[in-house]
Amino acid sequence: MHSFELVELLHLRHVSVTRIGESQTRMKTNLASSEVTYRRAQLPCPPVAVLPDDLPTLVPEQMLVKLALEAVQTVEWPDPAPEHASASDPTLPRPLMMTVLIYCYAAGMLGSRDIESRVHHDQPLRYLCRSAVPGWNTLRIFRRHHVRLVTRCLETLLELVWEWTKSNGCRVGTIDPDYQKSSCIQVEPLSSEPDFAREAEQRVARAIHADSMAMDD
């Protein structure tokens, strides 16, 4: 693995230590009463919901783009400049570059080379990029410079998708914590919501790994 990819992962791990701790505390609080009830009845703990890698299987692509744009509105950039993703390749403004990345990560497109090649065939990506197609290296460098913001913004998007699925009565996959078997349940109990921070961090880490592997080829 390249040194800059390792630094990127270390930044991501630093975020993970604090955010996963907070998320675990929140989940423990939400599940406390139900866990006690299940244990007393000698029943397995309630399943933990997980989102699929390819979120367009749950949410229409147009809606996923809309939610990604909403998630990016929550970003507080650390500085007003530069206005574009890269001084050497000013393809897209930062908000649009962020939208492209979190949309792709939510849709299961992780490698920067794959994202660049999909722009010409994926209608939502063509809509976001218009005529300015970001190069794979621009995408990678942008993520490396803003890895924490990308992760937090992706977390917000995953949570927005979850809320959308609940309001529209969609069904999502779950993992049984006792038997680790996949199942499918109606999205109703808040106690079974996914760990959005962990899911976001895992997707970004996989994207970093995919780029590192591609550069080694």
Please report, for the chain, the start and end positions of each structural domain, with discontinuous segments joined by +: 3-216
DSSP, res 29: H
Listed in sequence order, the residues at least 6 apart from 199 whose beta carbon sits closer than 8 Å to its beta carbon are 50, 51, 155, 158
Q: Is the dihedral of CA 95, 120, 114, 63 positive or negative?
A: positive
The count of C-alpha atoms lying within 13 angstroms of the C-alpha of 151, restricted to the half-sphere facing its C-beta, is: 27
Strand (E) or helix (H) holding 28? helix 3-40
Beta-strand relationship, 171-175 and 48-49:
antiparallel
| C-alpha dist (Å) from residue 112 to 119, 133, 134, 210 | 11, 12, 10, 8
One digit per residue, the tens of pLDDT, for the chain of length 217 reads 555 555 566 656 655 655 655 555 555 555 444 444 444 444 455 555 678 888 888 889 999 999 999 999 998 887 765 544 444 455 688 899 999 999 999 999 999 999 999 988 888 888 888 778 889 999 999 999 999 999 999 999 999 999 998 888 665 554 444 433 333 434 444 447 889 999 999 999 999 999 988 876 6
Q: Are 198 and 23 in contact (CB under 8 A)?
A: yes
pLDDT of residue 187: 41
pLDDT of residue 103: 96
pLDDT of residue 85: 45
